[in-house]
Amino acid sequence: MRDQKFGVIGGGSWATAIVKMLSENLSSINWWMRNEKSIEHIKIHRHNPKYIRSAEFDVAKLELSTDLKSVVENSDVLILATPSAFLLSVLESLDQESFRDKMVVSAIKGIIPETNEIPAEFLIKRFNIPENNIGMISGPCHAEEVAMERLSYLTIGSPNAQVAKTVADALSCRFIKTSVTDDLYGTEVGAILKNVFAIASGICHGLGYGDNFQAVLMSNSIQELERFVDAISPIHRDVKSSAYLGDLLVTGYSLHSRNRRFGNLIGRGYSVRATMAEMRMIAEGYYAVKCIMDINQKHEVNLPITEAVFHILYEETPAITEMRNLAETLS
């Protein structure tokens, strides 16, 4: 299956990291990004000028383009790696025919805010893509460490074992270990929720809470994740696996985590607007927490950490008050 043509949609840090992984195995990769200047820079200097600049490419393997329709048409496997908040606008020029007979894999760890749908649901409903043609990339894997070729682990989720294997084989290399699962919806929801918990972790750090409380917060976070994922997709799963617990821990603790950084600034007293201006990067958890709260109106799962983050970000409850109240409920 290595002769199938892969196309990556997105020009940010995660898209850049995915292209680096693919380039270890594939002789040719289609890569769409919106910025023509970035494309020209990559062709000349062999790295993305805006994101993880330390990741160098063999440009002879890259077929870079700002023409989305062309990239989609000439790819057999498409990996979507844009922020969830931009996915709808990025794909607006495409229709159902564009994705006919293609594998479509989401590397997006967020909810589509306009529709309150996880990427798999959005792709199925909007483009009528068969569930068996859809996959999800998850796991504890920061783009910055991929650039440094540090050992990382990914899980590819799909109800179709061949889709999962095709993507896993293409990404697996000397510094990337891969595994597969049929738990498409669980891994997607877990990848989304852990960003919310990472914001909570950052808020607590910004407020001055120590390692002991952070450990309790992470322990309660994985329990909260399990409750919500089981309500959304009630199948047997092990949330202690790297796709769930591993991803939660690295996102909650790592200095590379933009969601943790977002929360840290909130905890230090920055407003949401000031935090966004300071970071100049998308923190998926900000959009996800509102969508999770909306979705949970149907399921009514006990989500105290998610609710606390929502109150702080959207209802402007003082972080110190909200986290003090949350601390009283955790064990």
Confirm whether 1 is domain-assigned: no
Helix (H) or strand (E) holding 79: strand 77-80
Structure pTM? 0.92
Q: Are residues 176 and 325 in the same domain?
A: no
| CA–CA gap between residue 317 and residue 121 (Å, rounded) | 32
Q: Report yes or no on 278 lying in a domain.
A: yes
- What's the whole-number mean pLDDT along residues 123-135? 97
Residues 163 and 205 placed together within one structural domain of the fold: no
Contacts of 126 (CB under 8 A, 6+ apart): 91
What is the arithmetic mean of pLDDT over 235-249? 93
Q: In what order do the strands lie in the sheet with 134-138?
A: 62-65, 29-32, 6-9, 77-80, 103-106, 134-138, 152-157, 176-181
Query: Which tens digit of pLDDT belongs to each residue from 159-173?
Result: 999 999 999 999 999
| C-alpha to C-alpha distances, 243 to 112, 142, 188, 197, nearest whole angstrom | 21, 13, 10, 15
Cα 313 from Cα 6, distance rounded (Å): 38
172 in the same domain as 64: yes
Distance CA 73, CA 30 (A): 10
- Check residue 10 and give its pLDDT: 96
pLDDT tens readout for residues 171-192: 999 999 999 999 999 999 999 9
Residue matched to tokens 């983050």: 309
Mean pLDDT of 246-274: 94
Q: Is the pLDDT of residue 35 over 70?
A: yes
Cβ(172)–Cβ(151) below 8 Å: no
The answer to whether residue 2 scores a pLDDT higher than 70 is: no
Mean pLDDT value across the chain: 95
pLDDT of residue 281: 76
CA atoms lying within 13 Å on the CB side of residue 19: 34
Q: Are residues 268 and 317 in the same domain?
A: yes
Q: Give percent above pLDDT 90 in the chain.
A: 92
> What is the predicted pLDDT for the residue at 1?
42
Residue 217 has pLDDT above 50, yes or no: yes
Cα three-residue angle 105-296-249, rounded to 5 degrees: 60
Paired sense of beta strands 134-138 and 152-157, if any: antiparallel
* Residue 218 CB neighbours (<10 A): 21
pLDDT at 279: 86
Domain extent for 263: 186-329
Q: Does residue 44 fall inside a structural domain? A: yes
Average pLDDT over residues 278-295: 90
Across the strands, what pairs with 105? 79, 135
Q: What is the pLDDT of residue 291?
A: 93
State residue 187's pLDDT score.
Answer: 93
DSSP string, 123-157: HHHHH---GGGEEEEESS--HHHHHTT--EEEEEE
Asked if the model's pLDDT at residue 205 lies above 90, the reply is yes
From the CA atom positions of the chain, what is the Rg in Å? 19
Last residue of a domain, one of 133, 160, 182: 182
What CATH number is associated with residue 31?
Answer: 3.40.50.720
Interval 188-199 mean pLDDT: 95
Residues 17 and 94 in one domain: yes
Domain count across the chain? 2
Residues 18 and 8: beta-carbon distance below 8 Å: yes
Residue 128 sits at φ, ψ, to 5 deg, of: 55, 35
